[in-house]
Every structure is written in C-alpha cells, then in structure tokens.
C-alpha cells in the first residue's frame, strides 16, 4: 500500500488526525527531504525508516521501492510541504504503482493553491492550475498560450522571479488584469495583496518579495475580443 500524505505548508497544526494515524503505522517513509520530514515526524513523536525520494533520484530508487511495496510493505510519500504530486515528486511513483496493481490512497490535506484561490476574491468555480512557469526555455510560450484563457489562473512562484512573472503577465494579459498574490500561507507572516498586475508590480518593486508565493490571475472576460496569437 502506498499512502500519499499531505503535510503542513506552515502551521504544524494543519496536519490531520488521519495523516498522523497513517504515519504511525506505515513500514517506511519516502521523503522529498529527509531533514524536513524528520522535523515533522519528530514533532509528531513518530519514527521509522526513511528513504530519500526527490526529482534527482526518483528514477534510480523507483524499482527498489516498488519491490518493497509488492512484497507487502506499506509506505507514506511525503513532500516538504503540501500534497505530493502537486509541483512536487509523486507522479512517477503513483503511475508505476498503478501499473503494478499496488493500492494507493491519497489523503486529503494541505495544499497552497486552494486557500490562495479562495482568498483571492476572483472566480474559483472554474480555474486552471499552472504551477511553476518554466524558468527560461518555454516561459513566454506558456504565457502566450494563456492569453485567451477565461478561467482563473493559478501559479506558484519564487521570490526571485515574482516581479519577472508579474511583468511578463502584464505585458501579455494587460496591466489592468486583476490578480492576487498570497505569500507564506498558514505561517506567521501570511499576507495577501490584491489589485491589478500594474499595482502588484508597483507594490513588490517597493516591498522586496520574501517567502513562498501563490499568484492568482483573473481570466479573460468572455465579453472581450479574443487575443490574436
């Protein structure tokens, strides 16, 4: 059995009781960062064998993990924060478990984009999650593909590229497009700034971005003429 276990994105109290129960009974842990997961498990007073599982080694260790699961062991997959598979390792392992007929249970729990989306004040009945934009190659192509997107768009971004992303989105979508930037969700310095892309650029030009960011951008108004790509 493979358990996908979401972990707190900030406040450790966000862990669910069910997640604690699962972590207490599995045979081993698969951790994106063994140090980060070790801090959480120590806080929960849970111990057990831990295997590093991240984007740099997932292909190398996959066969061994599948072998252990097929032999009857159970594992909990943990990312540094949030739900594994959402802009974090997990897809490759889950796909292989499905191929090998290994049971998978994904627990509900913390993920950054949901509170950011709801808190943005923008329509959240229909949305598209874009995760992180490419750092270099393919970045502008991805933004161009969203010019006629009518659903609310959600992005993850680092503090080092936030202004670049806001500027590129403003150039493509228009500086008056409404948006919301949430940072440090569920942490002490949690903050949401709302406004046009131009206003957000101005704000973060004077207030250096710090922390982890979720950017929510309004889709194109269906009444407007589609952009010519």
pLDDT digits (tens, 9 = 90+) for 107-153: 999 999 999 999 999 999 999 999 999 988 899 999 999 999 999 99
- Verify that 56 and 86 share a domain, yes or no: yes
- Verify that 124 and 50 share a domain, yes or no: no
Question: What is the torsional sign of CA 27, 33, 34, 39?
Answer: negative
For the chain, which ranges sit under pLDDT 70? 227-229
In this prediction, residue 20 carries a pLDDT of 97
- Verify that 52 and 141 share a domain, yes or no: no
- Verify that 39 and 118 share a domain, yes or no: no
CB 2 within 8 A of CB 22: no
- Verify that 87 and 131 share a domain, yes or no: no
Task: Say if 49 falls within a structural domain.
Answer: yes
In this prediction, residue 89 carries a pLDDT of 87
Burial class (CB in 10 A: 0-12, 13-18, 19+), 124: middle
Write down the H helix ranges in 56-210. 58-70, 91-99, 113-119, 139-144, 162-173, 197-206
Task: Say if 93 falls within a structural domain.
Answer: yes
Which residue is associated with the tokens 């709302």? 194
Write the CATH number for 206: 3.30.950.10
How far apart are alpha carbons 138 and 144 in whole angstroms? 10
- Verify that 87 and 117 share a domain, yes or no: no
Long-range interactions of 202-205: CB distance < 8 A, separation 24+: 204/162, 204/163, 204/166, 205/163
In this prediction, residue 135 carries a pLDDT of 87
- Verify that 129 and 189 share a domain, yes or no: yes
- Verify that 102 and 148 share a domain, yes or no: no
Write the CATH number for 101: 3.40.1010.10
In this prediction, residue 25 carries a pLDDT of 97
In this prediction, residue 229 carries a pLDDT of 57
- Verify that 89 and 123 share a domain, yes or no: no
Residue 88: give the domain boundaries.
2-106
For residue 1, which of 108, 109, 106, 111 has the smallest C-alpha distance? 106
- Verify that 160 and 207 share a domain, yes or no: yes
State which of 106, 126, 143 marks the end of a domain.
106
Distance linking the first and last C-alpha atoms of the chain:
47
Structure tokens at 46: 């849970």
pLDDT digits (tens, 9 = 90+) for 194-208: 999 999 999 999 999
């Amino acid at each position: 059995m493979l358990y996908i276990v979401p972990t707190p994105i900030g406040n450790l109290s966000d862990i669910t009781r069910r997640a604690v129960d699962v972590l207490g009974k599995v045979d081993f842990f698969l951790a994106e960062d063994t140090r980060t997961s070790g801090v959480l498990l120590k806080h929960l007073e849970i111990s057990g064998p831990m295997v590093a599982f991240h984007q740099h080694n997932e292909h190398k260790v996959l066969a061994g993990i599948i072998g252990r699961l097929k032999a009857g062991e159970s594992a909990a997959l943990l990312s540094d924060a949030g739900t594994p598979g959402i802009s974090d390792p997990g897809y490759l392992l889950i796909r292989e478990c499905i191929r090998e007929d290994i049971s998978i249970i994904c627990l509900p729990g913390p993920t950054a984009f949901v509170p950011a989306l709801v808190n943005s004040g923008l329509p959240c009945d229909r949305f598209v999650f874009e995760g992180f934009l490419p750092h270099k190659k393919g970045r502008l192509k991805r933004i161009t593909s969203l010019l006629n997107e009518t659903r609310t768009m959600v992005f993850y971004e680092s503090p080092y590229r936030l202004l670049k992303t806001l500027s590129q989105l403003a150039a493509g979508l228009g500086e008056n497009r409404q948006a919301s930037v949430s940072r440090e969700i569920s942490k002490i310095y949690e903050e949401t700034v709302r406004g046009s892309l131009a206003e957000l650029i101005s704000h973060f030009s004077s207030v250096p971005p710090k922390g982890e960011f979720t950017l929510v951008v309004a889709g194109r108004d269906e009444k407007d003429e589609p952009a010519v790509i």
